[in-house]
Chains A and B, each alone.
Chain A
Amino acid sequence: MSGWSSFLLLDEVAESADRCIKCNMCNTACPVMPATDLFPGPKYCGPQLQRFRAGDPVEEWVDYCSGCGACTRACPTGVMVAELNARARARIYERRGVPLRNRLISSSELLGRLGAPVAPVANRMLASPAARALAERVLGIAREAPLPRFNRRGLRAALAQVQQPETGERVAYFHGCATGYYEPWVGVAAVRVLNRHGIRVEVPEQSCCGLPFLSNGDFRTGRRYAQRLVRQLLPAVRAGLPIVATSTSCSFALKSEYEHVLGMREPEVKEVAAATRDVFEFLRERSWLGELELRPGVLHRRVLYHGPCQLRSHGIGEPALEVLEGLAGAEVESSWVECCGIAGTYGLKAEKYGIARRVGEALVARVEELRPDLVACDSETCRWHIAAMTGLPVRHPIELLDQAQTALEAP
């Protein structure tokens, strides 16, 4: 079982359990605990059970951890609770075998590729209540769970029509599967915004980051994807290009989870992590440095911005919110809510969808309180979930920025 050494490895993540002082701060931050009695909470599943994880997997409840990371962020002594949970989950599935359902919902890239040529048919099928009921019974994918629509035209085809500037600083764009296959317009908006600020965007060959496999307990496949993506991005990093990303969960995998969940200690992983920026983090950093003047924009909308849980784990604040607040006419409020509930693929599962909805109630309450025209959120699965819960349009903030800047350019 050589490939699994990282779970048993006593690295700093495993050792961080010893810093637990039982203060319960993680439990106060956990959004899943109040939503279900099936999850004993981060303190119990993380640092406490870590003591017993030298041998066989000892528990199954840890699978109810959504992986939102609120516990790790809340811990005042530096225990990496969510990371411990992700590893514990993988050991359960290593033993039992990863269920077909988990592998299927992890395969965003494969599905995106297979679905593209038959998009209209596939979308009709996904919209059919009968097909969804069947998928719930046979596979355990919740029938109400929000799924993306397949897109015939991927990001590369869409970008072929964007005329990029010929000179200027270059960045490498890491788009992730959702933008690559389902919502290419997010990537187009990112490229347009970057171009507008004199930055040329290259799109290196890239595969899935493997994050869905990490959070579904399939580390073997996850690590394969991770190694491949690091290999694919490394030339750009070594050429001095920042890796700019629009999916905050995928970029968090690059920045942190390869090392802290998978235990990948290779220097190349650190190199890529150090070069990776969320697109708004990149814009904000360059403007702070005085190297880039953020173009003005106008957006006459009331926007509720929800910073997704995995963006919060970046530890960079909410750069998209800060940029959106600068737009003329825009009324922007932050949700201040820890997690929308979906947490990647967690809420797609039949036995967890109800939990995801209950976790999401805090966000729904904020929507009802503020009555925004639309919601902005940097993470794709959150957008689909929030749209399904609220019926409001939910956009990536880069789309709004592009729209706002375009509005000022129009003759």
Chain B
Amino acid sequence: MPPQRSPYDVVVVGLGLAGLVAGLVAARRGARTLVVGRGQGGLRQRHGALDVLGYHRGLVASPERELAGFVSERPEHPYALTGAALGEALELVREAGADQGLDLVGDLGRNHLVATAAGTLRPSCLVPRTMEVSWPGARVLVAGLAGYRDLWPELCATQLPVSAAGFDLHVEARAVSLEEPSPSPRHLDGLALARCFDRADFRERVAVGLRPHLDDALLVALPAALGVDDSGAVPDLEARLERKVIELPSLPPSVPGLRLEQALMGALRRAGGRTLVGPAARVVVERGGVRRIELASSGHPTPLSVGRVVLATGGLRGGGLWLERDGRVRETTAGLPAVPPQGEPGHSFLELARWLAPVGVRVDQRMRPLDEHGRVAVEGLHCCGGLLAGADRAGEKSADGVACATALVAGREATA
């Protein structure tokens, strides 16, 4: 029995970057908005910076300058549909973050190079202040802490100058492993370490341990775990060390990703939106339109009548798409038509990843799903983020830009 009244104007399915941005846009435009997802969204597994366009025939210095040429070569790419929405979406995330105490820096004008725990430099556009570095001539002290395995300082310090040389930058790096303070003896993932860094006494002990090793270092690089709740942890460490301190993203759980998620959720709630972590959602489509949404609640489904639906369920990794054994791709939430992989899968993991990269749901400029004839497949529904076809997110380093830009359009269209 479908509900007769509409409790929500917009239901967004998916709690990752795209879902939270789409929900925020819809809620700020006055729509009663619910963002629901099966489990936590993907941000806690990502690095917390926003990649827009990192590679296109080599390193992209300025996404803004590169984009026109990029989309003319790739008319099927989501960026070919979103136009000015990309810059607006980045500004929205930056401003929502600032409002919630999260300092993100950057704009479409140029890419930053973010150092990782593996000593690589990845091009990213909107980055946490704690990852922003001016690299030319940088002298880095990479500091690990005993027991935290996800930053091996020697690896990072060895690799960082090599990575920098690849971009014609001269960077020097040294490694130090602190035996003291030994953080909590167990549970030493990034989140547990970050909870230690929330405490001023722990930071002071780290600073005491580091001071003898500083020498001529201009930068101190630590695991991207410098506090969960205390946004003053990094400035505090910088004051204690009299050096700039940066965070190196490493394995999940990602603390910078968690901070971004919490900031966007906070902004969403402040705008009157609701979030629901747990139940999977199914979109019931009848006669080419959205009839209702069913949440897989305990005991019995919860049917929601809804004005518009935004699908931000992710791609193959996020669960929004499913690859069948015969090579067909299934969209899991509303049964939308999806573009299958083209050509041969190849042999190596990388070839397979590239083969699967562009699969997904094809959309029009309003983020409405299209069938194989280019007609709107389902009315009342908009798609965004990893679900969309046509982008090689890992190869281009474009996942977050695609998510934000398409989510902004989807959120607007759902409230149009």
Contact = CB atoms under 8 A, between A and B. Distances in A.
Contacts of A76: 37-42, 318-319
A40 to B, nearest CB: 7
Given A24-B189, A27-B191, A288-B7, A315 B253 contact: no
Interface stretch (B69-77, B102-110, B240-248, B295-303): B295-303
A392 interface: no
B5 A316 contact: no
Contacts of A336: 269
Nearest to A254: B299
B274 interface: yes
Given A27-B189, A37-B186, A289 B4 contact: yes
A28 B195 contact: no
The range of chain B's interface size is 35 or more
Interface in B298-353: 298-300, 302, 305, 318-319
A287 B4 CA distance: 9
A50 B295 CA distance: 28
User: Which interface residue of A37, A284, A317 has the most chain B CB atoms within 10 A?
Assistant: A317
Interface in A35-50: 37, 40-41
A27 B253 contact: yes
A78 B332 CA distance: 14
Contacts of A287: 5
A317 B276 contact: yes
B295 A23 contact: no
Contact of B39 (A75, A273, A285, A312): A75
Contacts of A312: 277-278
Interface string B370-410: 00000000000000000000000000000000000000000
Given A25-B253, A28-B44, A34 B192 contact: yes
A19 B3 CA distance: 33
Given A34-B195, A317-B276, A78 B297 contact: no
A74 B277 contact: yes
A290 B5 contact: yes
A40 B188 CA distance: 11
**Chain B interface main SS type:** loop
Given A40-B187, A290-B4, A317 B39 contact: no
Contacts of A74: 39-40, 277
B298 A256 contact: yes
A73 B278 contact: yes
Contacts of B279: 315-316
Contacts of A255: 298-300
Interface string A300-315: 0000000000001111
A106 interface: no
Given A23-B45, A74-B277, A317-B274, A28 B299 contact: no
B137 interface: no
A279 to B, nearest CB: 15
A276 B274 contact: no
A142 B296 CA distance: 38
A7 interface: no
B6 to A, nearest CB: 8
Contact of A77 (B7, B39, B41, B300): B39
B39 A41 contact: no
A25 B277 CA distance: 12
Interface in B25-73: 34, 37-42, 44-45
Interface string B267-278: 001000010111
Interface of A: 23-25, 27-29, 33-34, 37, 40-41, 72-78, 252, 254-256, 273-276, 281, 284-285, 287-290, 312-317, 334, 336
26 contacts: A25-B39, A25-B40, A27-B187, A28-B44, A28-B253, A28-B258, A29-B40, A33-B187, A34-B192, A40-B187, A74-B39, A76-B37, A76-B41, A76-B318, A78-B280, A273-B298, A273-B299, A273-B300, A290-B4, A290-B5, A314-B298, A314-B299, A315-B278, A315-B279, A315-B296, A317-B34
Interface of B: 1, 3-5, 7, 34, 37-42, 44-45, 184-187, 189, 191-192, 195, 252-253, 258, 269, 274, 276-280, 295-300, 302, 305, 318-319
Given A37-B185, A74-B40, A77-B319, 19 more contacts: A25-B253, A27-B253, A73-B39, A76-B39, A76-B41, A77-B39, A256-B299, A276-B300, A284-B7, A288-B3, A289-B4, A290-B4, A312-B278, A315-B278, A315-B296, A315-B302, A316-B297, A317-B34, A317-B274
